[in-house]
Every structure is written in structure tokens, then in C-alpha cells.
């Protein structure tokens, strides 16, 4: 059988840092209010000339270098983003051109904060067909462009960034299983209800969210989809070496860890420094934990995401 394995990770964060103290001068909030409710201290904000493909390019180059290959070795590109460079072509095609390659399939994955998990799931299925040797999966977001900076309930939560991985075909499963779900009946709970019509923006293209509903739903499904992954692989909760959940809110992360009986010492968290970077949050955290040596060969790593749609999913990996 054909399987896929992560052989390289990379990430990129814009140079501008916006702290909670900075936000105090922009909106009616405080560092204490934001941190106690979310665990966030700061976030990165893209420069005016930085688009999702630019962030993706920097992260991709680092992942490709870590994998010990060249861009020409990539034969599949999946970019998870909610904030594409433009309506079309896809950010994946723009990234492909910036990498200096052509010919391989390249497409965007739109599952909001679950996007990277969905992207891994899609790429893994492509790899299992036996047609592809190296897949590049990226999560890249510039959420600062779709925030209402006067809405203190949402603008304090998000940041910009990108993370990437290279998957390589293997005879043994690195990606053990992927579990993806959606429930469109929750579409209005977390959305950016704007579109382009007749050359003008129709609706309000800024993020809106019912925070309480999102919190409850996230805690519920993140616990369920983690147990689904473990059951599918006949593993116990104690077999999880590292949990890397979507970095939306430290309280959601802590509640998920409690449901799985995991100490927070086994949970990778970056939400304090990155805030919620949507599809980029999981690969950003993954790259950090790989590069600092926490994640080692033979360990079980569980990735999880939940986002607007609602979408949610998990990926269980044998490193």
C-alpha cells in the first residue's frame, strides 16, 4: 500500500507585532481582559504589501529545505486559506508560480480554521493513489484584512501567519488516519458575509462571530474527533505524545486536554504569541514543536481543527 509521511515543516510570521497593550490604544479593551479570556498576549500583522501567497512562500521554502528536496520535486500543492490573494486564480497557483514550478496540480482548500487538517486529509488521499511523491500542504492567512478593528469582541482574537509541511510517499503510514466533518446549519455563527457583485462588495466582508456558541461547539467536537482518531487506530488516550489543537483560545485548548485526560505539558500551544491564525495555526505550532525538538521519531501526534462552516477534523500521525 501507499502512504504519506511528513518529512519537512516550515513557518513564517510577519515582522510586525501587535500586542494587547497596542490594542488598548485602538479599541476599548485591556491586556488583562484579553489575556484572561483567551490566553493571547500578542499577534503578528502582515505588511500592506504582504499577501497570503507571500506568507505561504516563505513557510514553503523552509519546509522544502527541511525536507531536503527542491521545489521541482513537489508534484502536488494544497493551500488552506480563508484569505486568498484574490477571487481567482487560487492562492495555490500563485504560490506554485512563485516557487518557480509548473505542471503539478495546485488548489486551495477552504475550510476556515480546519483548513490545514482538511488539506492534510486531501493530500494524504492523493498520495495513497500512488501518483504523487511529494505534496506541499500550506496554511496561510492574513486575517487582519477581514477584521472590524472597532469590534473588541473579535479583533483581539486573530493574527496573520503561515505554516507548511512536505509529505513524502512511504510504504509505512506516517499519516495514520484523517477524520473530517462539517455541519452547514451553523454557517451563520462564524462567517464573513460579504461577496463581490457587479464589481462592488455586497454584504459586510468583515468577520462576525457568536463567541459563546463557537466555544461550546469547539470543545464538544474537538473531544469527539480526537476519540474518533484513537478508536480508528486502536490507541488509548495515554498513547498521545503530543496534541496540537487549533490555536483559538487557551480555554478551549485546556478543556479539550481535560476531556482527553492529557496534561498541558503534552499540548503544544502558541496562542499566546500568535493568536488565532485560522488555517495557519496548526502548522505554525507543529513547526515550532518539531524545530525545538519536542516532537521526535516514533511519537504519536494528534492534530485538530474546528472552524466556520462549521468544519472540524483530526489527523493522527506516527512521527
Cβ atoms of 142 and 52 closer than 8 Å: yes
Residue 113 catalytic?
yes
Catalytic, out of 113, 134, 178, 274: 113
- Give the span between the Cα atoms of 159 and 129, in whole angstroms: 36
Distances (CA, A) of 69 to 11, 149, 157: 17, 41, 36
Catalytic, out of 44, 274, 276, 300: 276
Environment class of residue 59 by beta-carbon count within 10 Å: exposed (0-12), middle (13-18) or buried (19+)?
A: buried
> Coil, strand or helix: which one is 246?
coil
Counted residue by residue, the chain has a size of 319
Upper half-sphere CA count for residue 269 (Cβ side, 13 Å):
20
Residue 274 catalytic?
no
With b for 16 or more beta-carbon neighbours within 10 A and e for fewer, the 256-275 pattern comes to bbebbebeeeebbbbbebbb
Residues 6+ apart with CB under 8 A from 80: 108, 109, 110, 111, 115, 116, 118, 119, 137, 138, 139, 140, 279
Residue 178 catalytic?
no
Q: Which of 62, 289, 53, 93 is nearest to 164 (CA)?
A: 62
Residue with cell 462571530: 209
- Give the span between the Cα atoms of 144 and 165, in whole angstroms: 24
Residue 309 has what DSSP assignment?
A: T
Q: Which of 313, 295, 276, 314 is nearest to 6 (CA)?
A: 295
Catalytic, out of 44, 246, 274, 300: 246
Question: CA 50, 51, 54: angle at the middle one, nearest 5?
Answer: 80
Task: Indicate which residues carry an active-site annotation.
Answer: 113, 246, 276
Amino acid at each position: 500500500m501507499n502512504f504519506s509521511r511528513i518529512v519537512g515543516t516550515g513557518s513564517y510570521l510577519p515582522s510586525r507585532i501587535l500586542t494587547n497593550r497596542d490594542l488598548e490604544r485602538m479599541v476599548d479593551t485591556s491586556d488583562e481582559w484579553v489575556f484572561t479570556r483567551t490566553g493571547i498576549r500578542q499577534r503578528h500583522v502582515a505588511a500592506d504589501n504582504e499577501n497570503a501567497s507571500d506568507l505561504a512562500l516563505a513557510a514553503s521554502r523552509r519546509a522544502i529545505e527541511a525536507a531536503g528536496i527542491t521545489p521541482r520535486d513537489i508534484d502536488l500543492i494544497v493551500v488552506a486559506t480563508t484569505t486568498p490573494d484574490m477571487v481567482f486564480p487560487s492562492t495555490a497557483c500563485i504560490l506554485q508560480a512563485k516557487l518557480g514550478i509548473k505542471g503539478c496540480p495546485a488548489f486551495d482548500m477552504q475550510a476556515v480554521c480546519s483548513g490545514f487538517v482538511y488539506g492534510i486529509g486531501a493530500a494524504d488521499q492523493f498520495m495513497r493513489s500512488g501518483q504523487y511523491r511529494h505534496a506541499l500542504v500550506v496554511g496561510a492567512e492574513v486575517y487582519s484584512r477581514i477584521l472590524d478593528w472597532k469590534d473588541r469582541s473579535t479583533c483581539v482574537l486573530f493574527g496573520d501567519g503561515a505554516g507548511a509541511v512536505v509529505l513524502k510517499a512511504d510504504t509505512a503510514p506516517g499519516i495514520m488516519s484523517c477524520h473530517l466533518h462539517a455541519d452547514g446549519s451553523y454557517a451563520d455563527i462564524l462567517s464573513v458575509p460579504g461577496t463581490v457583485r457587479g464589481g462592488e462588495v455586497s454584504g459586510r466582508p468583515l468577520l462576525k462571530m457568536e463567541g459563546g456558541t463557537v466555544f461550546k461547539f469547539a470543545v464538544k467536537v474537538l473531544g469527539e474527533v480526537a476519540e474518533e482518531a484513537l478508536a480508528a487506530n486502536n490507541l488509548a488516550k495515554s498513547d498521545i505524545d503530543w496534541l496540537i489543537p487549533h490555536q483559538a483560545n487557551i480555554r478551549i485548548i485546556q478543556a479539550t486536554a481535560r476531556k482527553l485526560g492529557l496534561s498541558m505539558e503534552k499540548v503544544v500551544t502558541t496562542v499566546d504569541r500568535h493568536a488565532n491564525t485560522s488555517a495557519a495555526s496548526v502548522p505554525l505550532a507543529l513547526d515550532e514543536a518539531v524545530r525545538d525538538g519536542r516532537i521526535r521519531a516514533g511519537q504519536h501526534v494528534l492534530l485538530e481543527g474546528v472552524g466556520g462552516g462549521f468544519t472540524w477534523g483530526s489527523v493522527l500521525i506516527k512521527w
